[in-house]
């Protein structure tokens, strides 16, 4: 609770550097109406004080048309020209995501004693696709960086983006991540296409980013639609998108 009695959320990002980058992005998005409001921050201890969202429920599965509308409305305002020298490049964050996916795949085999998930074998192709897409980006914007369902929370009558991992680069990075992570898996490429059209972004690039992120999603089996996801990443439609 703030001094004036308003409910608030105290967030402690993993490092002070991460807190500083998140605070910088939230300040840029302050007037957008689609990002959580930063009420205060303490750079010395890396703490953020954020508005409390009500009821704070995440965007749910299914209803792909509704999800695309929510995502498009948010990304139109979040994607903007980044100021120089503040935010890292998207491939730095992609590297971290790749390391997590390798760990997830190892956990499936070594701890859960399951077969190797199909996404792991495709991570090298996913990296090539991500690198090629990043180098050929049609424009560079400030990205949310973790634009998925759980980071879009209901606040009264609209959805607000929280927990950004801000980087700069190709808008398709956010589009593809959202499409790959929003269930059901079989709708991922269609979701990417619809979202790309809504944002006037090349649909072929959006589908390729989605294919790359689907490989990451298919490195673990926590999703309710994991069987469907595992089948999808070995389908010719996705494999053809991953080819250099």
DSSP 127-160: HHHHHHHHHT-SS-EEE-S--SGGGEEEETTEEE
The string of pLDDT tens digits covering residues 21-63 is: 999 999 999 999 999 999 999 999 999 999 999 999 999 886 6
pLDDT at 146: 98
Nearest CA to 11 among 166, 181, 164? Answer: 164
Residue 173 has pLDDT above 70, yes or no: yes
**Domain spans in the chain, listed from the N-terminal domain onward:** 1-52, 59-242
Three-state secondary-structure class, residue 97: helix
Secondary structure tally for the chain: helices H, strands E: 9, 8
How far is Cα 171 from Cα 169, in angstroms, rounded to an integer? 6
Q: What is the CATH number of domain 59-242?
A: 3.90.1200.10
Task: Indicate the helix (H) or strand (E) that contains 122.
Answer: helix 118-135
Question: Rounded to two decimals, what is the model's pTM?
Answer: 0.95
pLDDT-based confidence at 2, cuts 50/70/90? Answer: low
């Amino acid at each position: 609770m703030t001094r004036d009695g308003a409910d608030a959320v105290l967030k402690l990002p993993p490092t002070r550097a991460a807190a500083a980058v998140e605070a910088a992005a939230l300040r840029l998005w302050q007037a957008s109406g689609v990002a959580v409001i930063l009420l205060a921050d303490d750079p010395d201890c890396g703490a953020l004080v954020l508005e409390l969202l009500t009821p704070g429920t995440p965007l749910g599965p299914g209803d792909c048309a509704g999800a695309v509308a929510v995502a498009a409305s948010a990304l139109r305002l979040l994607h903007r020209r980044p100021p120089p020298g503040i935010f890292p490049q998207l491939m730095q964050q992609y590297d971290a995501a790749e390391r997590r996916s390798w760990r997830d795949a190892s956990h499936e085999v070594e701890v859960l004693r399951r077969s190797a998930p199909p996404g792991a074998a495709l991570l090298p192709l996913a990296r090539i696709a991500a690198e090629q897409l990043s180098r050929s980006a049609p424009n560079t914007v400030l990205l949310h960086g973790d634009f998925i369902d759980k980071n879009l929370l209901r606040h009264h009558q609209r959805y607000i983006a929280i927990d950004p991992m801000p980087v700069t680069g190709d808008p398709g990075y956010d589009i593809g991540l959202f499409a790959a992570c929003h269930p059901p898996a079989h709708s991922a490429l269609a979701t990417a296409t619809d979202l790309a059209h809504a944002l006037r972004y090349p649909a072929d690039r959006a589908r390729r980013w989605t294919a790359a992120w689907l490989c990451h999603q298919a490195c673990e089996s926590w999703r309710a639609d994991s069987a469907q996801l595992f089948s999808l990443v070995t389908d010719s439609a996705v494999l053809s998108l991953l080819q250099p």
